[in-house]
Amino acid sequence: MISHDGGITESEYEHVVEKGVLDQIAITDHNKIEFALHMNKVSPQMFIVGEEIMTKDGEIIGLFLEKHIPPDLSIIDTIRKIKEQGGIVYIPHPFDMRRSGVGDKLFQFIDQIDVIEVFNARTLTRSIIDLPHELELLDGDVSYTVGSDSHGITELGTTYSSVENRLTAENIKGQLSRSFDKREYRLSRTSFRGFLNPTINRLKKIFK
C-alpha cells in the first residue's frame, strides 16, 4: 500500500496469493491508485483496482477503476467520475462517523450506489448488519458485502465475502446479491494489533 497508513507490501500480497488465503483482493489506498494498478498488472485475476476517495461528505470507494479520482469533490461528482470509468460505487463503513462515513447522505444517493458495506472489521460502532431497520430503508438496486479494511497482512482474510465466481464490474452486484445471508460471509473484528496498524504504518513512513 502507498496510503499514509497502509502497510501491506507487494511481497506480502504475493505471499497471501501463494498461500491461497483469499481468491481475490480489492486494493483501495486512500486517494491513490498507483499501487493498485501495479498489483493488477502483476495479477489481473487476483487484484481489483480500487481507491478510497475522500469526498466533501465522507469516503466512497471506486472499484474496477482505470484512472485516479481526485479527493475533495462532492459525493455526486465522485460517483459520476467512478461511473464514467465503468467502475463500481462502493460505500465503506457508512455510519462510522469517526472514520468519515457518509452517514445519512447514503439515502440521498441510494439509486446511484452499487454496493454497501454492511460490516467493516475496523468499525467499533454498530454496523448496518446490526440494524435491520436501516436495511429496510435501502430501496435502491444495491448489493451488500463485508470488508476487512486491512492495513496489515495479519488482517487479510479475517473478514470476507464468499461468492461463486471471480468478481468483475459486470457481475459484482449479482454475485454479492441484495439478499444478505450471514452464511455467505466471514465476520471477525480486527485484533488489537490490527487497530494499531494504521498508526504504526504512519510512524514507519515518517521515520523511514
Query: What is the identity of the amino acid at 137?
Result: L
Q: Taking the C-alpha atoms of 37, 42, 45 and 50 in order, what is their torsion angle to the nearest 10 degrees?
A: -20
Model pTM score: 0.83
Helix (H, G, I), strand (E, B) or coil at 179: coil
- Tell me the pLDDT of the chain (208 aa) as tens digits: 554 545 688 888 888 888 888 899 999 999 999 999 999 999 999 999 999 999 999 999 999 999 999 999 999 999 999 999 999 999 999 888 777 899 888 889 988 999 998 888 877 766 665 555 555 555 667 888 888 887 677 777 788 888 888 999 999 998 887 555 554 777 766 655 654 555 555 556 466 6
Residues listed for the chain: 208
End-to-end, the C-alpha distance of the chain in Å comes to: 15
Which structural domains are found in the chain, ordered by start? 10-206 (3.20.20.140)
